[in-house]
Amino acid sequence: MQTNPPQNVQTIRVELGPRSYDVQVGPSLLGRLGATLAAMKSVRQAAVIVDSNVAALHAATATESIQSAGITATALIFPAGEEHKNLPTYSRLMDSLLALRPAVDRDAVVVSLGGGVCGDLAGFVAATALRGLRWVQCPTTLLADVDASVGGKTAVDHPVGKNLIGAFHQPSAVLIDVLALRTLPARQISNGLAECVKHALIADAAGLDFLETHAGQLLEAQPDLTARLIAHDVAIKAKVVSADEREAGIRAHLNFGHTLGHAIEASVGLGRILHGEAVSLGMVAACRLAAQRGLISADLAARVESLLLRLGLPTHREGLDVGAVESIMQHDKKARAGRLRLVLPVGLGRVDVFEDIPPQQVRQAVASLGQ
């Protein structure tokens, strides 16, 4: 059995003390899932949590790889779609997991195989089954590759809001198979690129150049360039998360575009806009607000909008319900004492947290998206 990663695999260490782990990025990594599990301590059983769409594409590769390493593997399949990222689905997955024979014990490992919804759900199952099982993340979308693969946030949605029920639970390993992106529709690639723009804006001025230079090839998920982008973005996020695992401080910068984006997503309705598209709109509004307050130049705001458009992302949304967006933001779980915390750019590659933005300025920026 091969245990050293092949040469075209990049490894990024997420430093979190005893909870540190490696993220591997490269081609055909799903086939190395079994070797990865075998390298962990006393793994005899794995439950692969996967949605009905991804199961058809990748479940066989994953379970066969695990089984060929001498580890029992069972796929637990849930219906695809974010509307299933909730407590009822969690409860049914838990039923299936606890019904496995031989019975799962504390050495069992949960594998998440899929996009962000799958990772959040499977991670929350892992966080809470037997008070915490180890888990390995195999993201299969660009969005999950560059975002959910680092940080250990797990959650399900609640009718009151997204991600309101969950836990911090770091994975033991993350395998990002860039060839899995070949099965993704173009709109899903754009969806992930929105987070790459975010990373560039919060921490990496040079990243914006890279995205502008290679926009066309990245939209086609050209494997080498995409692997470079993913590894780069994972490293940026890993650095932020290492400095602030529980989001007490600097990790809040990762919410750039998200407080507004989540509210836009919720106001439009789950499934009617992709997360990255909502974040794109959120970043546009945040940049316009920042330009209006003199935090960044109007040129930088325009440059960001132009890049988002080239990456197939929206900068405008017909019929946006500004009142609904505002009211949802009031219930954002990062709000404290009813006070909205907004992350705004203060330069290229730099953001800051603001708690004193007048509501009418926020409203105006949101309204500009619908005009």
Instruction: Enumerate binding residues for its own copies (CB under 8 A).
Output: 42, 44, 87, 91, 94-95, 98-99, 102-103, 105-107, 124, 127-132, 153, 155, 158, 160-161, 163-168, 246, 330-331, 333-338
Residue 177's SS3 state is strand
State the residue for tokens 């037997």.
130
Shortest spacing between CB 100 and its own copies, in angstroms = 10
Query: 275-292 and 298-310 helices cross at what angle (nearest 10)?
Result: 160
Output DSSP code: residue 81: S
Residue type, 342: L
Shortest separation between residue 18's beta carbon and its own copies, angstroms: 10
Q: How far is the CB of 287 from its own copies (least distance, A)?
A: 27
* DSSP letters for 186-203: HHHHHHHHHHHHHHHHHH
Q: Find the shortest distance in angstroms from Cβ 242 to its own copies.
A: 16
Closer Cβ to its own copies, 128 or 292, answer by number: 128
Instruction: Identify which of residues 15 and 220 has a Cβ nearer to its own copies in the complex.
Output: 15
Q: Residue 69 and residue 109: Cα distance in Å, rounded?
A: 14
* Whole-number Å distance between alpha carbons of 12 and 21: 9
The encoded tokens of residue 311 equal: 């990456």
Give the nearer residue to its own copies in terms of CB position, either 42 or 360: 42
Minimum Å gap between C-beta 370 and its own copies is 26
Q: What is the Cα–Cα distance from 210 to 362, expressed in whole angstroms?
A: 30
CB of 270 to its own copies, least distance (A): 17
Residue 124 or 256: which CB sits closer to its own copies? Answer: 124
Residue with smaller CB distance to its own copies, 95 or 209: 95
Residue 313 has φ and ψ, to the nearest 5°, of -110, 150
| Other Cβ atoms within 10 Å of 205 Cβ, number | 12
Cα separations in angstroms, 70 against 65, 100, 141, 188, 297: 9, 17, 28, 35, 58
What is 207-227 written as a DSSP string? Answer: HHHHHHHHHHHHHTT-HHHHH
Pick from 193, 186, 185: nearest CA to 225: 193
Q: Which amino acids are annotated catalytic?
A: 131, 153, 195, 237, 247, 251, 255, 258, 262, 275
Q: Quick check: bond before 102 cis, omega within 30?
A: yes
Q: What does DSSP assign to residue 68?
A: H
| Least spacing, CB of residue 140 vs its own copies, in Å | 24
* β-pair partners for 11: 24
Of 167 and 219, which CB lies nearer to its own copies in the complex structure?
167
Strand pairing of 134-139 and 173-177? Answer: parallel
What is the Cα–Cα distance from 198 to 113, expressed in whole angstroms? 25
